[in-house]
Amino acid sequence: MLVIDCPYCGPRNSTEFRHAGEAGKSRDVANSTPAEWRRYLYEFNNPLGWVREHWFHSSGCRRYISSERHTGNNEVRWVVPFGTPAPSTTSDKETGA
């Protein structure tokens, strides 16, 4: 089980969190075609590599947070409050965001 270092609470088991999806999705209610909307709803990049994603600390501070995790070995290299700029450890190219 992963440890996620919540910026508000400190390191906690991932069972305290609810995974809240990959970062970088845009919600366009006004202009989406059905295909685009369903891609927004259901499709994820899910690459083997570094992924930016969101978590909700549901059994802790109840804040949304953002992280970057490697899907191959589950290493989490940073966690920040939602809406904070990502640390400059990675290029956007690398994250695919």
Partner 1 sequence: MSASGNWRIAPQPGEVIDRSQKVNFTWNGSPASGYAGDTIVSALMASGVRVMSRSFKYHRPRGVITATFFDPNCSFQVGQEPNVRGAHRMVRNGDDVNAQNAWPSLNFDIRAANQVVGRFLGPGFYYKTFIKPQKLWPAYQKVLSTFAPGGAPPAIGTPQEIFDKRFVHPDVLVAGGGPAGMAAAIEAARTGAKVILVEEEYELGGHLRYGGTESLATLAALRAEVASFDNIEVLTDSVVSGRYDDNWVGVVQRSGIWAKERMIKARVGTLVVAAGLIERPYVFEGNDLPGVMLATAALRLIGLHAVKPGTSAVVFTANSTGDEAIERLRAAGVSIARVLDARKGENVTRALGRGQVSGVEAGDGSKTSADLLITATGWTAPTSLLNMAGDRPVWNAAGARFTPSELFHSSVMAAGGIVGDGTTAELIAHGRAVGIEAASRARGEAAKPVAALIPDAHPALFQSTTVGFLDLSEDVKNKDIVSAAKEGYDSSELAKRFTTSAMGPSQGKLEMVNTMAVLAEATGRDFQSTGTTVWRPPYAPISLGALAGRVFEPDRVSPMQLWHEAHGAKDMVAAQWIRPEHYGNPQAEALNVRSNVGIIDLTPLGKLDLHGPDIVKLLNLAYTNTWDNLAVGSVRYGVMCAEDGVVMDDGVTGRLGDDHYLMTTTSSGAGNVWDWLEMWLQTVHREWQVTITPVTTALVSINVAGPNSRELLSRITDIDLDPAVFGYMKVRQGTVAGVADCIVWRIGFTGELSYEIHVPASYGLHVWETLLEVGKDLGVAPFGIEAQRILRLEKGHFIVGQDTDGLTQAYEAGLGGLVKLAKEDFSGKPELVWQEALAGNYSHLVAVETVDPLLVPAEASQIVENGNEIVGRITSSRMSPTLKRSVCLAHVPASLSTPGSRLTIVLENGDRAAAIVREDLAFVDPEGVRLRG
Which residues sit at the interface with partner 1, rule CB under 8 A?
1-3, 13, 18, 20, 27, 29-30, 32, 34, 37, 41, 54, 56, 58, 62-64, 73-74, 82-83
Q: Which residues pair with 11 in a beta bridge?
A: 5
Residue 63 or 96 having the CB closest to partner 1: 63
Taking CB under 5 A as the rule, does residue 96 contact Zn ion? no
Taking CB under 5 A as the rule, does residue 57 contact Zn ion? yes
Taking CB under 5 A as the rule, does residue 8 contact Zn ion? yes
Q: Is 12 helix (H, G, I), strand (E, B) or coil?
A: strand
